[in-house]
Structure formats: C-alpha cells, structure tokens
C-alpha cells in the first residue's frame, strides 16, 4: 500500500511540472533567420530588429523564427542612407496580415514558427 500512496503523491507533482514546462516552454532563445533572395546586399539581425540593405531600392528576402515575435524592419540603400519612402511591401505567408508601416523606411510585422519561410518583397518609392 505504501507504493501506491507514493505514486499517488508523485503523479500529481509530475503533471504539474509537465504542464508548467508546456505553458512556459523550455526558455529557448529567440532565433531569427533572414535570408537574402534578390538584390539584398546584407541583413543585420539584432534581437527583434532587422536592418536590410538594398542598394537598388527593390529587393526580396525570407524570414524564419523559432517562436512568435514582433519584428521591426528598417530598410536602407547603404549604411548612410535609409529608404526615402517605402512604396510597397508584399508579404507571402501567414504573417502578411500583421504588417504595418511605421515610418518612411520602417515597418513592423509579427512572425511565428511555420514550415515555409515568410517571403518579403520591398519597393522604395524613389528607386
């Protein structure tokens, strides 16, 4: 009978710990992968911010994240010159509806883990 009582006390504690880990996750750090597809010189990733360097003013890149997060994306021609005014942003994937403009050379969007990368195409007004 002692064995059954021990299991009866141990089992609820294990379920509580398992549920807590499921709700909180394993504390995995945020990982954002940004891959140039067309006419992107480079992409700098800093926590929840991307600086995308697109010398021609029209470019395309892909995004993946291991957890849900809000990204701020800054667009530049080069290190000294941000985009003058973004004419359009086309987002393919489930994150497309979350995109909002946040200035002349900046936009925000929510990304979350998904099997296919999110495709982003940006066009500057004065390209």
What confidence tens digit (pLDDT) does each residue in 60-85 have?
Answer: 999 999 999 999 999 999 999 999 99
The total number of residues shown for the chain amounts to 127
User: Cα separation of 32 and 46, whole Å?
Assistant: 9
Coil/strand/helix, residue 11: helix
What confidence tens digit (pLDDT) does each residue in 76-121 have?
Answer: 999 999 999 999 999 997 777 789 999 999 999 999 898 899 999 9
- The residues spanned by each domain of the chain are 32-124
> For residue 118, what are the β-bridge partners?
63
Q: Residue 26: CB partners within 8 Å, gap ≥ 6?
A: none
What confidence tens digit (pLDDT) does each residue in 19-54 have?
Answer: 333 444 557 898 999 999 999 999 999 989 999 999
């Amino acid at each position: 009978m002692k064995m059954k009582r021990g299991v009866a006390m141990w089992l609820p504690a294990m379920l509580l710990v398992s549920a807590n880990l499921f709700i909180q996750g394993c504390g995995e750090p945020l990982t954002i992968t940004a891959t140039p597809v067309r006419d992107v010189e480079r992409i700098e990733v800093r926590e929840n911010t991307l600086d995308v360097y697109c010398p021609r003013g029209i470019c395309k890149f892909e995004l993946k994240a291991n957890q849900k997060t809000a990204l701020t994306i800054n667009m530049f021609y080069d290190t000294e010159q941000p985009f003058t005014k973004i004419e359009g942003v086309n987002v393919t994937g489930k994150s497309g509806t979350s995109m909002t403009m946040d200035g002349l050379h900046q936009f925000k969007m929510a990304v979350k883990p998904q099997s296919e990368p999110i495709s982003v195409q940006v066009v500057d007004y004065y390209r």
